[in-house]
Amino acid sequence: MGKKRVIKQTEEEVLKEREEVESKIQKVAIPTKITPKVPKAGVLHIASTYNNTYLTLTDSKGNVLTWVSAGKIGFKGTKKGTPYSAAKAAEVMAQAIEKLKLGEIRIKVKGIGTGRESALRTLATKGINIVSIEDVTPIPHNGCKRPKPRRV
């Protein structure tokens, strides 16, 4: 086994990558056509997995108004599951919430990924009126039935 080489990015490459992400954030479509009955309150579902973070904005009935994911912004591969990508997705969602002029937001968080906390913190710092935060991660109870003992 030879030496392992660690490849480090130069500052230019890091800045170039950041500029690409920032430009793609501006390109992500935020709904401009607002339906006549836009609700005053909405529900934001944050689904965080090991591979990606999804943010879905719905009205109180569950009709989807808009959605964003780390992959939709432009992150690829393992970078989609990072807290940074979740924060950038939350920034785009905050812009959409401001454009839709929603007053109150209830948040439902689901999953065990690393993007949960950073998405919540970003939404809080953007000045969005968060009414409640609820964890709806499914938890198994009692599990599956054990197999029967083998007969020989």
CATH architecture under which domain 39-135 falls: 2-Layer Sandwich (3.30)
In terms of Cβ atoms closer than 10 Å to its own Cβ (0-12, 13-18, 19+), residue 79 is: middle
Is residue 55 within 8 A of residue 119, CB to CB? The reply is: yes
Position 25 scores a pLDDT of 67
Q: In the numeric block, which tokens belong to residue 33? A: 């056509």
Average pLDDT over residues 34-54: 83
Q: In the predicted model, what is the mean pLDDT of the chain?
A: 85
Q: What is the pLDDT of residues 87-121, one digit of tens each?
A: 999 999 999 888 888 889 999 999 998 889 999 99
Other C-beta atoms closer than 10 Å to the C-beta of 100 total: 18
By C-alpha distance, which of 84, 60, 80, 63 is closest to 71?
80
Whether the per-residue pLDDT at 37 is higher than 90: the answer is no
3-state secondary structure of 6: coil
CA distances from 63 to 22, 27, 59, 75, 146 (A): 29, 24, 6, 27, 40
> What is d(CA 105, CA 119) in angstroms, rounded to the nearest whole number?
14
Name the pTM for this structure: 0.73
3-state secondary structure of 46: strand
Whether the per-residue pLDDT at 35 is higher than 60: the answer is no
Position 140 scores a pLDDT of 82
CA distances from 152 to 91, 149 (A): 62, 10
